[in-house]
Amino acid sequence: MVLEALKSRKNLFLWLPIVLIATPYLLFIVPQYLGLEAYIVESGSMAPEMPTGSVIYMQEIPADRIETGDVIVFTPNDSRLDAERVTHRVTDTREGNYTVEFKTKGDANPSPDPGWTPSYKIEGKRAFSIPHLGYLIKASRSPLFITAFIILPSILLMKGQIETLFDQLKNKKRERTPTADEKTTSLEKEKNMHPSTIKATHTCLQNFYNITNGFR
């Protein structure tokens, strides 16, 4: 019982790092199959609600459904096509030239963003966010982290499974081969047989001998 408890505890410690690494990736990837896009927040402009390293899940939404107070993901007016996305809160809206325009501001910034953002530069609205999840995702990409928390535990788990398999094979072999104690017990049972049983056995053997001699 003690050995089994130790083995189960050992397996728990081996599985724990793998689960801890797999969980953030599942939280990052699974919502994307539900129509959401995930981004890692790279600055603290939306702290304390969304500090640096948070993961934000964005959903596409028509511009006319965006209201003041919503957090949106957009491309700034003064950026290039390959610029990083910005995640800020809508503080005001207005009707522009053939489109709706939005005034935005980071919660931690002292002043709003320059200019107005037209609706065609908006990529989506925040559905929800998980603080600090991005740090763990970034750290788990390093070779040292992968080796220490994924490869080594996986090897140890495989080693434990192989040892368990060999133990099971040994136990089956022991069940098939009688031990010395079992053989001794069998001999003692034969010695303790009732005389009538011994006589009947002797008679059967004698008859078998006579029959076999008759075929010669």
Task: Name the one residue in this structure whose structure tokens are 């934000």.
Answer: 56
Whether residue 54 contacts residue 132, with contact meaning beta carbons closer than 8 Å, is answered with: yes
- Per-residue pLDDT of 7-35, as tens digits, reads 555 566 666 666 766 777 788 788 878 88
Compute the average pLDDT of residues 179-207: 51
CATH superfamily membership of 35-139:
Umud Fragment, subunit A (2.10.109.10)
Compute the average pLDDT of residues 126-145: 82
Compute the average pLDDT of residues 85-111: 92
At 155, phi and psi to the nearest 5? -65, -45
What is the distance between the terminal CA atoms of the chain, rounded to a whole angstrom? 62
Per-residue pLDDT band for 187 (boundaries 50, 70, 90) equals: very low
Report the chain's mean pLDDT, rounded to a whole number.
Answer: 75
Ramachandran category for residue 35: left, alpha or beta (phi over 0 → left; psi -120 to 50 → alpha): left
Specify the higher pLDDT residue, 184 or 105. Answer: 105
Per domain, the residue ranges of the chain are: 35-139, 188-216
